[in-house]
Structure 1
Amino acid sequence: MNININVYLNVRDTNFYQSGSFPVWNSDFKKDPDWTAAIAAYEWIQQINKNMGTSVNIVQVIYNEENDITELVKKVKPIF
């Protein structure tokens, strides 16, 4: 299944907004939709970081137009 994610970020004192649709495992989403969305958002934000060549600050993250997962996304840590 796909979820819609909206991110509001701050880069070098400039705010910007991006949105997109991302695939997630249906079974994971049914178990814990917020955490599953947070992981998808975190991975996307890491790609944005890499493409911009600088660290972005997360201002707000919302999925499916009404679920604010900003604090959860900030808690996601990479697995090595």
Structure 2
Amino acid sequence: MIHILAICASFLGFGCLCAAMARHQKDLLGRTLPRQAQRWLRGAGGAVLLVALATDMAELGAAYGTIAWFGHLTIGAAMAVTGLKWKTA
């Protein structure tokens, strides 16, 4: 269960980071967001990725949690990229 939670947090974090980029905003929204909104999205994306790290480390310990976090980041990033490609295609 912890793995699903960490993967969802990673996907959400990378989704926020993607939404903070002007190129993806134009693809998804047809316009760009104000600078303040972009800053908030970048901050939220980084914070959610740190939440995923904290979750992994709390449940699996520091060593295994960090290794699992990298795997969860990979899966979350792949899901975000696949979602962007599916949405813009």
Greater CA radius of gyration, 1 or 2? 2
Structure having the higher strand fraction is 1
TM range (shorter): 0.3 to 0.5
TM (normalized to structure 1)?
0.37
Q: TM-score, normalised by structure 2?
A: 0.34
The structure where helix makes up a greater share of residues is 2
Higher RCO (C-alpha 8 Å, min separation 6): 2
